[in-house]
């Protein structure tokens, strides 16, 4: 009767721990837009969210490979179940918790390896703005962008103009 309660408690604890580690993906690879409001007047908006310029270069980068956490949860449950089969009394509880933690680590690594060794392919677009400043934007697509294209920068994305 005590074993199912221990297993359920270990599973709930593992899920609570892992859900606290979840985060949303960030694809900027440490690059910022490098934008500032230079104070130049003109017929266009010089703010950080919008501007016009010419593409100087485009480089392909790899975003960090992220996991959903599903592998860790499944691994924690399997590990806790396996750990619960070992020992008796407080030793069983310790083995259940250790199995849950170890299973979470292994499950997360399996998910990361299954998703591929590299992250999503991203494009670092360097733009020389009309006012002379340079901005670097990292985005997931460079479908119709080429070096030398006239572009518009809107909300951190580059579009052909």
**pLDDT tens readout for residues 104-116:** 888 888 887 776 6
Is 35 a domain residue?
no
| Number of domains composing the chain | 1
Q: Assign 35 a pLDDT band (cuts: 50, 70, 90).
A: very low
- Residue 115 is classified by DSSP as T
Is 146 a domain residue?
yes
**pLDDT tens readout for residues 8-19:** 776 666 666 666
Is 75 a domain residue?
yes
pTM of the model: 0.44
Is 37 a domain residue?
no
Is 30 a domain residue?
no
Q: What is the mean pLDDT of the chain?
A: 75
Is 129 a domain residue?
yes
Q: Assign 69 a pLDDT band (cuts: 50, 70, 90).
A: confident
Is 79 a domain residue?
yes
Long-range (24+ apart) CB contacts under 8 A made by 76-80 are: 76/11, 76/14, 76/15, 76/18, 76/100, 76/101, 76/103, 76/104, 76/107, 77/11, 77/14, 77/103, 78/103, 78/107, 79/103, 79/104, 79/106, 79/107, 80/7, 80/10, 80/11, 80/14
Cα 83 from Cα 93, distance rounded (Å):
8
């Amino acid at each position: 009767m005590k074993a199912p309660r221990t297993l359920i408690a270990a599973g709930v604890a593992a899920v609570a721990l892992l859900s606290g580690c979840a985060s949303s993906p960030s694809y900027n690879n440490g690059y910022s837009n490098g934008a500032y409001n230079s104070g130049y007047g003109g017929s266009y908006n010089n703010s950080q969210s919008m501007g016009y310029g010419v593409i100087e270069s485009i480089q392909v980068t790899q975003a960090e490979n992220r996991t959903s956490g599903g592998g860790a949860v499944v691994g924690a449950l399997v590990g806790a179940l396996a750990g619960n089969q070992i020992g008796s009394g407080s030793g069983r509880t310790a083995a259940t918790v250790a199995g849950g933690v170890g299973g979470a680590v292994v499950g997360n690594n399996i998910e990361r390896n299954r998703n591929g060794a590299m992250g999503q392919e991203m494009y670092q677009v360097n733009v020389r703005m009309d006012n002379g400043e340079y901005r670097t934007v990292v985005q997931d697509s460079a479908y119709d962008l080429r070096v030398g294209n006239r572009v518009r920068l809107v909300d951190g994305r580059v579009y052909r103009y």
